[in-house]
Amino acid sequence: MTELDPVIHAAARLRITATLATLDPGESIAFPRLQELLDMTAGNLSTHVRKLEDAGYVAVEKTHRGRTPITYLALSRQGRRAFEDYTEALRSVLGERP
């Protein structure tokens, strides 16, 4: 690992990715709850989620609960792997044992 993943190597997207990584694989979280956990504005979160989605790291599922539309977000398998590679790269840069 010689280069840090530019998609995640940005504070806002790293926080989003780290938060989604606390969920179990297969779990997903509604946009407003994620926003609450991150304390980010909806617009800011949308912008960064779109970049993560474009990179294939975040899976976005738009669904309905009754008549209310809900957007569920989750790390894709690729995203989870990218996050693990990224944190491992940081630890090796810092000389921490994994």
Residue ranges in contact with other proteins by CB under 8 A: 2-4, 6, 9-15, 18-19, 21-30, 32-34, 36-38, 44, 47, 51, 72, 87, 90-94
Cα–Cα distance between 86 and 83 in angstroms, integer? Answer: 5
Q: By C-beta, is 27 or 56 nearer to other proteins?
A: 27
Output the smallest distance, CB 78 to other proteins, in A.
17
- Comparing CA positions, the residue from 68, 10, 70 lying closest to residue 60 is 70
Output the smallest distance, CB 42 to other proteins, in A.
14
Output the smallest distance, CB 14 to other proteins, in A.
6
| Contact between residue 45 and residue 31 where contact means Cβ atoms under 8 Å apart | yes
| Contact between residue 31 and residue 63 where contact means Cβ atoms under 8 Å apart | no
Cα–Cα distance between 14 and 65 in angstroms, integer? Answer: 29
